[in-house]
Amino acid sequence: MDRNRRFIIGAAIIVAAVTYLVYTGIRETSVYYLTIDEFLTRREAVAGEGLRVAGRVGADSVKWNGATLDLKFRLANFEDDDGVDVTYNGVLPDMFAEGRDVIVEGTYAHQGAFHARTLLTACPSKYEAEVAKN
């Protein structure tokens, strides 16, 4: 009985450690994940917070300076009739192009632009290519 109790304590320590690590890990590293539509409706409320926003690169919106690596584009919604300006500094990801789905991670300044620290390209077709139905 005593033996068993020691075991349960040992196991409980591991379980508690895992729970603690998961709990603090989530508290310290979590960021809001919003679609562009959700972001556009509540953007002022989430200004200044760590955000991940998924949207589409707006048509004719990409301004890229290959010398300074400054990138500006509009992160637009599905219909491309509304969006937010995004600034980013760094190398263009291979899959980045107008009309592609991207995820930006960074912060949004009040009334301003979204500054992206990371720019991820989840290509819309993913690994499924679109078929040329001609």
Partner 1 sequence: MVEIGVLALRLALIGGLYAVLAAIFGAQMRRPALVRSSRQAAYAVHALVAAAALVLWHALITRDFSLEYVASYSSSTLALPYRIAALWGGQAGSLLFWVLILTTMSTVVHLQNRERNEALMPYVTATLMTIAAFFLALLVFITGPFERLPVPATEGADLNPLLQNYWMMIHPPSLYLGYVGCSVPFAFAIAALATGRLGDVWIRTTRRWTLFAWFFLSVGNLLGARWAYEELGWGGYWAWDPVENAAFMPWLVCTAFLHSVMIQEKKNMLKMWNMVLVLLTFCLTIFGTFLTRSGIVSSVHSFTQSGLGPFFVAFLLAIIAIVVVLVTMRRELLRGENEIDSFLSREAAFLFNNLLFVGIAFATFWGTIFPVISEAVRGIKITVGPPFFNKVNTPLGLALLFMTGIGPVIAWRRASARNLRRSFTVPLLLGFVTGIAIFASGWRNYYAVVCFSLSAFVLATIFMEFYRGTRARQALMGETPARALSNLVGKNRRRYGGYVIHVGVVMVFIGVAASSAFRLEEQETIKKGAVVNVGAFELTYKDIHFTDGAHYSSMLAEIEVKKNGTFVETMFPEKRFYKKQQQPTTEVALRSTLIEDLYLVLGSYDDASGLMTLIVFVNPLVNWIWIGGLVLVLGTVIVMSPTAAEQRALAAALAVEERGLEAALR
Q: Which residues bind partner 1 (CB under 8 A)?
A: 3-4, 6-7, 10-11, 14-15, 17-18, 21-22, 24-26, 28-34, 52, 54, 65-69, 90-92, 94-95, 97, 103, 105, 120-122, 125-134
Nearer to partner 1, 38 or 82 (CB): 38
Nearer to partner 1, 27 or 110 (CB): 27
Give the CA-trace dihedral at 57, 59, 61, 65, to 10 degrees.
Answer: 80
114-121 and 83-89: which strand pairing?
parallel
Tell the smallest beta-carbon distance from residue 116 to partner 1 (Å).
Answer: 14
Tell the smallest beta-carbon distance from residue 132 to partner 1 (Å).
Answer: 6
Six-digit token string for 5: 């109790």
Tell the smallest beta-carbon distance from residue 51 to partner 1 (Å).
Answer: 10
Nearer to partner 1, 14 or 111 (CB): 14
Following DSSP, what letter does each residue of 59-118 receive, concatenated?
Answer: TT--EEETTTTEEEEEEE-TTSSSEEEEEEESPPPTT--TT-EEEEEEEE-TTS-EEEEE
Tell the smallest beta-carbon distance from residue 95 to partner 1 (Å).
Answer: 7
Residue 51 pairs in a beta bridge with 32, 106
